[in-house]
Structures are given as C-alpha cells and as structure tokens.
Amino acid sequence: MTSSSSAPPATPITARRSLLLYLGLTLLLVLPALLPLLRAGFFVSDDGLFHVYRTAALARAWQDGVLWPRLFPEFGFGYGQAVLNFYAPLSYAPAAALTFAGIEPANAVKLLIAFSTLAAALAAFGYGRHLFGNVAGVLAAVVYTYTPYHLADAYLRGAVPEHAAFIFPPLILWAYSAAFRRDAPWLPLLWGTLAWAGLVLTHNLTALMMAPVAVAQLLVLAGWSRRWRRLAGAAGSVALAAAITAVFWLPGLAESRSVGLALGPSRGYAEHLLTGATLLRRSLAYFTNAPETLGRIYPLSWFALALVALVAVLLLARWRQKRLPAGWPAAIFHLAVAAVAMFLTTAVALPLWDALLPALGQLQYPWRFLL
C-alpha cells in the first residue's frame, strides 16, 4: 500500500530512513501505554481472568493434540463448555502458543495485550501515513493508542479479544483506500480479505460494528474516485473473507439458539448510555474506578472531543481559503464517523437504539462504539 504525501520526491534510501525514524518515534510514544503490564501478577479486571483460563485450556488442548477444541472439558464444573464454538478463537492462539512453550498463562496474556497494543498502533500509523504522510501516521497511532476506552478495554474490562481486534479496523480502511487509489487494486483487496478474516476470528461484535463503516467508506471512495466498478472487487473480498471464516461463524450461528445464545437482542444498553452527569471524563485515562466509571460507564474524553473540533475548524478554515488538503474527503469521513460514534454513546441516541434494536441490541454496550 502506498503513502500519499505532499513532500518532495525522496530517494528510496532517504524515504526508508524517514519511515524507520517515524516508526521508531511511534513505538517510543506508545510504549508508556504498556507500563501497567509491568506489575507483578495479573491485574484486576472485569473479564481478564476468564481469558487467562481460556488460554490455559487451549494450550492444554494442544498438548492433547486437538488444534481447535470446540469444547473445553475443564470448564462448567467438569461438564465442559463449548467456548470456541461461539467465541472467536484467534486472539487466544498467540497466548496459548506462549503457554505451550512454557510461559505462565497470565504472563502470556499480558504479552498478548502488549503485542495487540503495539500492532494496533502500527496499523493506525500505516493508515494515517497512507492518507497524509509520516507525521499524520504518528499522530494517528498516538491518538488510537491513548483513546481512553482503548486503555480501559485492556486494563479495566480485561476484554482481551476486543482489545486485540483493534488491530484490524485501520488495516481494513487502509486496504480499501489503497484499492481505490492504485491502478491495480487486487493486492490491497487481498489484504482487505485477510484483515476482515482476522477481525471475524478475533471479535465478531467488532466485525459487526465495522461493517457499516466499511460500506460508508467504500461509497465515499467510489464517489470521489469515480471508480464505481471497484465496489464489486471490494464485495468479493468481503465474500472471500466470509468463506474463509465460515468454519467459525457458520456452526456458531447454527447452534447458538440451542445453548441460549442469540435468543433476542438486549435492552441493557439503556443503562449505559451517557447523560449530562456522566458525559465527559475529566482525566485522559480510565486507569482507576473513578466515580464516573462505577457501573462501567465510560464517559467521552474531553481530549477526543477537542481534537475532533480542532480538525473540523481547521478543515473549515482551509475550505474558506480554498486550500483543502488532497485527502480532505478522508478527513471529513473520519470526522463524521467519530461524531456518529460519540453520539451513539449518549442518552440522546436512545430512540435510535430502540428503533434499531434487532441490530444494535446485539452489541450490548454503547461504549463499544468508542473503539
């Protein structure tokens, strides 16, 4: 995938050195997000220990020669639970591999969180660089990493699969953007297929949320580039990803009602929508159970709101000066996505949640839109 930058042409060696410099800067700025992992033992979280147990169970299944165990026989008081028949398995595999190699499961999961954080940052860097150059890539990686909900997802919720899923949305958007910019779209579309497959096999709810964003992006790209026929290639890449991952989602859909899953959407979201008292988070992170996060309500970040407003003001100023940047449709698209996502976490959006209950009710928690 190529980068679009207004900088003067550079020699391959200079461009490579510049890329390495900005990659190093990105990693340096992101590393502080891993500091909580340096504490001894496993941190207290909502779901973290469940994922440690599942990692240990998967590693034990591998020791018994079972590559993809649909059932964990140790769970359910010895009756077994069909965890990986319904929950995406990919995020557990790296940690299980480390456990299989002799690392304690809790430490293996901590290493997985570290890897997911760094990989998501690099994916955001690549997408930002593709759109607006190296500096934008660094800013995208830093903002994506330190978005308060991203940190909370790892360190308060302990939602290891969802945290690992943050790797894939930038890759999907990057792939489709490159497919519409290049003369030959097939390699980016293949990367898009692999990114979709990775997302579905890591966290299916994030894949569900990502679908309308990808559709909107494709329509914007097709309209701006006038390459409407490439929508067929994009649809084909999604269909191929669905075929690749059918081994997971097809049995899950077929058997979910038999075990009490997907019996109907839940209105639990109504209890987690943000109101005036819980709308904004004063600090930049959710590392502690502050009063506004009790009951697991995750307020909006004032920093994120300020950043969105700043970008909007800058674009408006450039528009009035008739000096819009080359990638302005992408900037407006992402501003719109951010605005809609933040709106859907507030109580004002309750009528929309109720109207779209069959779809939105499956997501359970509005804060998922803060990814």
What pLDDT tens digit does each residue of the chain (371 aa) get? 444 444 455 677 788 889 999 999 999 999 999 999 999 889 888 899 999 999 999 999 999 999 999 889 999 888 898 899 889 999 999 999 999 999 999 999 999 999 999 999 999 999 999 988 898 899 899 989 988 788 888 998 899 999 999 999 999 999 999 999 988 999 999 999 999 999 999 999 999 999 999 999 999 999 998 999 999 999 999 999 999 999 999 988 888 777 766 556 667 777 788 887 677 766 655 544 444 444 456 777 677 777 778 877 877 777 777 776 777 888 889 889 988 988 888 888 889 888 887 777 777 788 788 87
- 65 phi-psi bin (left φ>0, alpha ψ -120 to 50, beta other): left
Partners of 300 in beta bridges: 280
178 sits in which H/E element: helix 168-181
- Cβ count near 371 (within 10 Å): 20
Q: Which amino acid is at 126?
A: G
pTM of the model: 0.88
Give the HSE-up count for residue 160: Cα atoms under 13 Å, Cβ half-sphere.
31
Closest-CA residue to 86 (of 99, 98, 72): 72
Instruction: Label residues 54-72 b or e (16+ Cβ within 10 Å = b).
Output: bbbbbbbbbeeeeeebbbb
